[in-house]
Structure 1
Amino acid sequence: MPLVYYSVPKTKQEELTQYRNEKNEWGKWITSSVVKVIISGLLLSLLFQGMLASTLSLVIGSHYSETISLLGFTVGAAALAGIIQGIRWAWEPFLATKFGQYSDGKYGRLLLFVAFLTIAGFTFLLIPFAFAIYIWLAVVLTGQVSATILTTLSDALASDVAKQTDRNRVITCYTVFLDIGAAFGPLISYMIMSLHHGIIMTYMTGAVIIFSLALLWSVEYLRGRWRPSIKKKISNPV
């Protein structure tokens, strides 16, 4: 009986102490780096998973027609949009792995991140305008390649900051905001498209957002943050 008396309150006290410690630490993991990564992931998800994916067939139909002749085949606008999306999912496992490994090198992730943000920004500037179909497709596919690489690098940056704070909370919050961006992307896109010159306005808005992110991360790079530490190689003694 004395053992029960002393052991039960102790267990309850430990649980209470742990709860208080977790409560006091709540919010300490929300650093400026975490906020920047989460906002970047949210906006990229909104633009690529939401805006581009949901409006691509509409843009194709407005530029050309509901049926397009490619390489001797007639393809519908919705089918062509689906093919473009399918091509991205086909190369994504290989391209994402390659650039993820490359970003782990001595030059780090930010330079790549800023470079492909800039490329993606220019593709958003060009997509709402009609060119020859093959040139326009090249622009869109370039944007899709950029989307794959940016998604990979954004995930890697989220993993980097998660290691420095609270991994579970950062990754959970980051994932939730990615889903929010993908969900609200189509809604926001079609709200803008209801305006005059809606398609142009939609993609110009996307371009401004992407260039703003490129500027933000350029400043981070120039400040010398996020650069990986290069470990000196130690030769094994003979």
Structure 2
Amino acid sequence: MNRTNKLSVIGIAVFTGVAIMGDAMLSIVLPIYWSDMGLTAVWQVGVLLSINRFVRLPINPLVGFFYRHYSLRLGISIAMGLAIVSTFSYGIFSQFSILVMMRIVWGIAWSLLRLGGFLSIIQLTSKTDRGQFIGLYNGVWGIGSLIGMLVGGLLIAETSIRFITTLFGLIGCVTFPFVPFLTPSGKKEPTVQKTTTDQQKPLLALDQFVLTLSTSMVMGLLIFGVFSNTLSARIDQSYQDNWTFMSFAFTSTAIAGIIQAVRWGWAPFLAPFIGKYLDHTKHKQQALICFLLSLSALFALIGSINQISFVIVLLLLFQFVSTGFVTTTDTIASDLAEKGDSIKVITFHTIMVDTGAALGPLLAFGLLEYFPLRVVYLIASILLFVLAIGWISWLRKKQNDPFAFSVRK
């Protein structure tokens, strides 16, 4: 990748990170300060934090259609504008109905940003460096989420929601003029490469497509859905002490926030490193299988161990492995998109991730009505294990050798 293209990938990641700061702040602040935003019932908190995810399910196909006919630059510019408007609105409006509309606006903005970001990376990179820059992209925009959570959590007690949202909105305004200079201008036209071999093996291509989308779904369901939304509850089950540092008391929520912050902190370094490895190996699927089996084992262990110190170590290890899992899944999906209709494949990928992320909390807390958390984690462990078996079976079929696990390039 030349220097200009690398700068474009970093720029798009920065735009995404700036856009998501308001949303990340809201996820930390809203559950506690919901009355300060004019809400009158706790259920309204759940609606505001989830409506943006559900709206992306029908919106993603429309965004894919948009990018077939209009440029990536236009789409990301619109997304940044919508993100700025929604961020400012959190501190201006106190009517629940208006806030719901603004969260829907944010959902549309995120769909434009996420799909536009992936398509930009496919356009700007090749198979030799795509994994590295997908990792860089995910890591850099993750810093925006980290800033939103930390700044929101620290400043809310000393200032106000309006101050924080205005600050983040102004940062968005400052970055907006740079969008035309750091975003690809052309449309990402779908390309379909067909060979005689491809035409002779439609079943294998379909198997890979289904497995990739299943992995996208599981990633959203278990990593962004179940794990993220049950992290505090899992820590609270084992945390019976009152740890303090310089008169600061560590609650279960604080520990969960630190664990999440650590993940976003190392992502800009770890994700590109993993991506670079993926670029130089013919064994991306084998790496994915290792991550799936590792996460399966970690889910089972986290659900069964009660000693808080061991739980924290396992949670940090889970965050480490999940970073590799997300980077690998995104890279495999992007490689698959390059071989065919890129807009269609990436649209399906984002739809499946969003569907999983939206269903994850509903599934987790629905099961918690009847079963303990360890059962939820055990189900997650089994699901990851079954998916790993699916990939192993696909590799064996592709190689036409039941004992071979290497993939022909």
Give TM-score scaled by structure 1 length: 0.77
- Which residue of the other structure, out of 369, 381, 397, is the alignment partner of 1:223? 397
Asked if 1:202 is matched to 2:376, the reply is: yes
- For residues 131 and 159 of structure 1, do their structure 2 counterparts lie closer, same or farther at Cα, with a shift above 3 Å needed? same
Amino acid at match of 1:129: S
3-state SS of the aligned residue for 2:304? coil
RMSD (Å), alpha carbons:
2.2
The equivalences for 1:1-238 within 5 A come to 31-65=206-240, 68-69=242-243, 74-196=249-371, 198-224=372-398, 227=407, 229=409
Q: Report the Cα offset of residue 138 of structure 1.
A: 1.1
Q: Give the Cα–Cα distance (whole angstroms) in 2 for the partners of residues 103 and 68 of structure 1.
A: 43
3-state SS of the aligned residue for 2:370? coil
Identity across the alignment (%)? 29
- For residues 130 and 106 of structure 1, do their structure 2 counterparts lie closer, same or farther at Cα, with a shift above 3 Å needed? closer
Residue 42 of structure 1 contacts residue 178 of structure 1 at CA under 8 Å; is this kept in 2? Answer: yes
Q: Give the Cα–Cα distance (whole angstroms) in 2 for the partners of residues 162 and 87 of structure 1.
A: 31
Residue 337 of structure 2 contacts residue 345 of structure 2 at CA under 8 Å; is this kept in 1? Answer: yes
- The Cα offsets for residues 188-217 of structure 1, whole Å up to 9 and x where unpaired, read as 000111113x20110001000111111111
Q: Which has the higher helix share?
A: 2
Give TM-score scaled by structure 2 length: 0.46
> Which has the higher relative contact order, 1 or 2, with Cα contacts under 8 A spaced 6 or more apart?
1
- For residues 206 and 220 of structure 1, do their structure 2 counterparts lie closer, same or farther at Cα, with a shift above 3 Å needed? same
Q: Report the Cα offset of residue 223 of structure 1.
A: 3.5
Judge which range, 101-110 or 153-162, deviates more: 101-110
Q: Give the Cα–Cα distance (whole angstroms) in 2 for the partners of residues 59 and 106 of structure 1.
A: 36
Residue 42 of structure 1 contacts residue 181 of structure 1 at CA under 8 Å; is this kept in 2? Answer: yes
Residue 274 of structure 2 contacts residue 324 of structure 2 at CA under 8 Å; is this kept in 1? Answer: yes
3-state SS of the aligned residue for 2:303? coil
Gaps of 5+ in 2: 1-189, 191-201, 400-405
Gaps of 5+ in 1: 1-21, 23-27, 230-238
Judge which range, 97-106 or 217-226, deviates more: 217-226
Instruction: State which structure, 1 or 2, has the greater radius of gyration over its C-alpha atoms.
Output: 1
Residue 51 of structure 1 contacts residue 186 of structure 1 at CA under 8 Å; is this kept in 2? Answer: yes
Counterpart of 1:236 in structure 2 is: none
